[in-house]
Amino acid sequence: MEEKQNFQTSLDFNQNIFKPSTREEIVEIVKNCYKKSIPLEISGLQSKNKIGRNFQAEKTLDLSNYKGIIDYKPEELYIKVKAGTPISEIEEALKKNNQQLAFEPNDFGYLFSGESNSGSIGGVVACNFAGSRRFKVGSVRDHLLGFQGVNGKGETIKSGGTVVKNVTGYDLCKILSGSFGTLTVLTEISIKVLPRPETNKTLIIKNPHVKKALDYLGQSLSSSTDPSGGVFYPDYFGKNFILNDLTHDGGLTGIRIEGPMNSVDQRIDRLSKELALIGNEFSVLDSVQTEIFWNKTKNLEVFKNSKSNLIRIVVPISETLEVIKKLKKDDLNYFIDWGGSLIWMAFDHLNSKILSEIKEITKNHQGYYTLIKIEDDFKASADIFTIDPIKYKISEKIKKSFDPKRIFNPGKMYTGI
Amino acid sequence: MSSLQMPKVDDSILSKKDKIVSDIGRIINPKNVLSHPDELRPFETDGLTAYRQMPLVVVMPETVEEVSNILKYCNDNKVKVVPRGAGTGLSGGSLPLEDCVLMAMGKFNKILEIDYLNRCVVTQPCVTNLAITHAVQDKGFYYAPDPSSQIACSIGGNVAENSGGVHSLKYGATTNNLLGIEVVLMDGTITKFGGKAMDSEGYDFLGLMTGSEGLLGVITEVTVKILKSPEIVKAALIGFPTIEDAGNCVAEIIAEGCIPAGMEIMDKALTKATNDYSKAGYPTDAEAMMIVEFDGTEHEVEAYIKKAKQIAEKNNSSSLKVSKSNEERLKFWAGRKAAFPACGVLAPDYMCMDGSIPRGKLAEVLKEITRLSKKYDLPVANAFHAGDGNLHPLIMFDANDKNSLKKCEDFGADILKYCVKVGGALTGEHGVGIEKRELMCEAFNDKDIQQQLTIKVALDPNSLLNPGKVYPILRKCAEEGRVHVHGGKTKFPDIPRF
Q: First CA to last CA across chain A, in angstroms?
A: 29
Query: Is the model's pLDDT at B484 over the cut of 60?
Result: no
**Count, residues in chain B:** 498
- Pairing of β B80-84 and β B100-104: parallel
What gap in Å lies between CA A211 and CA A322, rounded to an integer?
A: 10
- Pairing of β A69-73 and β A78-82: antiparallel
Q: Domain A199-298: which CATH class?
A: alpha beta
Residue of B nearest to A396 (CA): B458
For residue A76, the one-letter residue type is: E
| Inter-chain CB proximity B202 and A370 less than 8 Å | no
pLDDT at position A14:
87
The domain locations on chain A are: 1-196+387-417, 199-298, 301-379
What gap in Å lies between CA A182 and CA B358, rounded to an integer?
A: 32
What gap in Å lies between CA B131 and CA B397, rounded to an integer?
A: 36
What gap in Å lies between CA B304 and CA B289, rounded to an integer?
A: 19
Query: How many whole angstroms from its chain centre is CA A20?
Result: 25
pLDDT-derived band at B99, boundaries 50, 70, 90: very high
* CB-based contacts of A182, cutoff 8 Å, min separation 6: A399, A403, A408, A409, A410, A412, A413, A417
| Inter-chain CB proximity B211 and A167 less than 8 Å | yes
- Residue percentage of chain A with pLDDT more than 70: 97
Cβ–Cβ contact B204 with A under 8 A: yes
- Chain A neighbors of B426, CB-CB under 8 A: 168
pLDDT at position A96:
96
pLDDT-derived band at A6, boundaries 50, 70, 90: very low
Q: Is the CB of residue A257 less than 8 Å from the CB of residue A203?
A: yes
What gap in Å lies between CA A85 and CA A159, rounded to an integer?
A: 20
| Inter-chain CB proximity B297 and A267 less than 8 Å | yes
Question: Beta partners for B34?
Answer: B58
Tell me which of B118, B146, B161, B254 to substitute to probe the interface with A (most A C-beta atoms closer than 10 Å): B118
pLDDT at position A254:
97
Q: Please report the residues numbered 111 through 150 in chain A whose beta carbons come closer than 8 angstroms to any beta carbon of chain B.
A: 128, 130, 134-135, 138-139, 141-142
* Out of A316-325, B253-262, B368-377, B378-387, least confident range: B253-262
* Out of A167-171, B88-92, B486-490, least confident range: B486-490
Cβ–Cβ contact B110 with A under 8 A: no
Cβ–Cβ contact A395 with B under 8 A: yes
Query: Is the model's pLDDT at B495 over the cut of 60?
Result: no
Condensed to tens digits (0 to 9), the pLDDT of residues A92-107 reads: 999 999 999 999 999 9
The CATH architecture of the domain made up of B111-228 is: 2-Layer Sandwich (3.30)
- Residue percentage of chain B with pLDDT more than 90: 74
Chain B nearest-CA distance from A242, in A, is: 31
* Out of A238-252, A355-369, B275-289, least confident range: A238-252
Q: Is the CB of residue A98 less than 8 Å from the CB of residue A197?
A: no
Cβ–Cβ contact A267 with B under 8 A: yes
The DSSP 8-state label assigned to residue B431 in this structure reads: -
Residue of A nearest to B440 (CA): A168
pLDDT at position A3:
43
pLDDT at position B482:
36
- Pairing of β A199-206 and β A194-195: unpaired
The CATH architecture of the domain made up of B341-486 is: 2-Layer Sandwich (3.30)
Closest CA to B266 of B146, B98, B383: B383
pLDDT-derived band at B474, boundaries 50, 70, 90: low
Specify burial of residue B11 (Cβ count, 10 A radius: 0-12, 13-18, 19+).
Answer: exposed
Query: Is the model's pLDDT at B254 over the cut of 80?
Result: yes
| Inter-chain CB proximity B298 and A266 less than 8 Å | yes
Q: Please give the order of strands across the beta sheet that includes B178-184.
A: B111-115, B120-123, B218-225, B178-184, B190-194
Residue of B nearest to A217 (CA): B117
Nearest CB neighbour to A163, from listed B211, B358, B470: B358
Largest CA distance in chain B: 71
Condensed to tens digits (0 to 9), the pLDDT of residues B108-154 reads: 999 999 999 999 999 999 999 999 999 999 999 999 999 888 999 99
Cβ–Cβ contact B169 with A under 8 A: yes
Cβ–Cβ contact A224 with B under 8 A: yes
- Chain B neighbors of A53, CB-CB under 8 A: none
| Inter-chain CB proximity A367 and B140 less than 8 Å | no
Cβ–Cβ contact B495 with A under 8 A: no
pLDDT at position B341:
84
Q: Is the CB of residue B207 less than 8 Å from the CB of residue A141?
A: yes
- Chain A neighbors of B447, CB-CB under 8 A: 2, 155-157
Question: Beta partners for B324?
Answer: none
What gap in Å lies between CA A30 and CA A36, rounded to an integer?
A: 10
> Average pLDDT of A344-356?
92
What gap in Å lies between CA B183 and CA B194, rounded to an integer?
A: 11
Question: Beta partners for A147?
Answer: A159, A189
What gap in Å lies between CA B401 and CA B408, rounded to an integer?
A: 11
What gap in Å lies between CA B469 and CA A220, rounded to an integer?
A: 44
Q: What is the CATH number of domain A301-379?
A: 3.30.70
Q: Which fold has domain B232-337?
A: Alpha-Beta Plaits (3.30.70)
Q: Where exactly does CATH 3.30.70.3450 map onto chain B?
A: 232-337
Q: What are phi and psi of B101, to 5 degrees?
A: -90, 120
User: What are the DSSP E strand ranges found in A17-166?
Assistant: 17-18, 40-43, 59-62, 69-73, 78-82, 99-100, 144-151, 156-160
* Out of A236-250, B165-179, B373-387, least confident range: A236-250
Question: In the predicted model, what is the mean pLDDT of chain B?
Answer: 91
pLDDT-derived band at B49, boundaries 50, 70, 90: confident
* Out of A120-134, B337-351, B458-472, least confident range: B337-351
Taking one residue from A and the other from B, the number of pairs with CB-CB distance under 8 angstroms is 256
| Inter-chain CB proximity B297 and A395 less than 8 Å | no
pLDDT-derived band at B479, boundaries 50, 70, 90: very low
pLDDT at position A32:
96
What gap in Å lies between CA B252 and CA B315, rounded to an integer?
A: 9
Cβ–Cβ contact A269 with B under 8 A: no
* Predicted structure pTM score: 0.94
Cβ–Cβ contact B448 with A under 8 A: yes
Cβ–Cβ contact B114 with A under 8 A: no
Q: Where exactly does CATH 3.30.70.2740 map onto chain B?
A: 341-486
pLDDT-derived band at A270, boundaries 50, 70, 90: very high
Cβ–Cβ contact A24 with B under 8 A: no
Q: Is the CB of residue B198 less than 8 Å from the CB of residue B267?
A: no
> Average pLDDT of B19-45?
97
| Inter-chain CB proximity B257 and A98 less than 8 Å | yes
Cβ–Cβ contact B195 with A under 8 A: yes
| Inter-chain CB proximity B357 and A218 less than 8 Å | no
CATH topology match: A199-298 vs A301-379: yes
Cβ–Cβ contact A180 with B under 8 A: no
Chain A nearest-CA distance from B212, in A, is: 5
> Average pLDDT of B37-46?
96
What gap in Å lies between CA A308 and CA A7, rounded to an integer?
A: 49
Nearest CB neighbour to B455, from listed A75, A141, A170: A170
Angle between helices B326-337 and B339-346 in degrees, nearest 10: 40
| Inter-chain CB proximity B198 and A317 less than 8 Å | no
Residue of B nearest to A400 (CA): B458
What gap in Å lies between CA B489 and CA B49, rounded to an integer?
A: 10
- Alpha-carbon separation of residue A332 from A239, A329, B247, B410 (angstroms): 16, 6, 56, 67
Angle at B255 between CA B249 and CA B260, to 5 degrees: 70
* CB-based contacts of A47, cutoff 8 Å, min separation 6: A107, A108, A109, A112, A117, A118, A119, A120, A123
Q: What is the CATH number of domain B11-104?
A: 3.30.43.10
> Average pLDDT of A204-211?
93
- If DSSP codes are grouped into helix, strand and coil, which group holds residue A45? coil
Q: What is the CATH number of domain A1-196+387-417?
A: 3.30.465.10
The DSSP 8-state label assigned to residue A11 in this structure reads: -
Cβ–Cβ contact A171 with B under 8 A: yes
pLDDT at position A44:
96
Tell me, what's the ipTM?
A: 0.95
- Residue percentage of chain A with pLDDT more than 90: 84
* CB-based contacts of B374, cutoff 8 Å, min separation 6: none
User: What are the DSSP E strand ranges found in B312-379?
Assistant: 319-322, 349-352, 355-356
Query: How many whole angstroms from its chain centre is CA B67?
Result: 25
Q: Is the CB of residue B183 less than 8 Å from the CB of residue B209?
A: yes
Q: Please report the residues numbered 273 through 312 in chain A whose beta carbons come closer than 8 angstroms to any beta carbon of chain B.
A: none
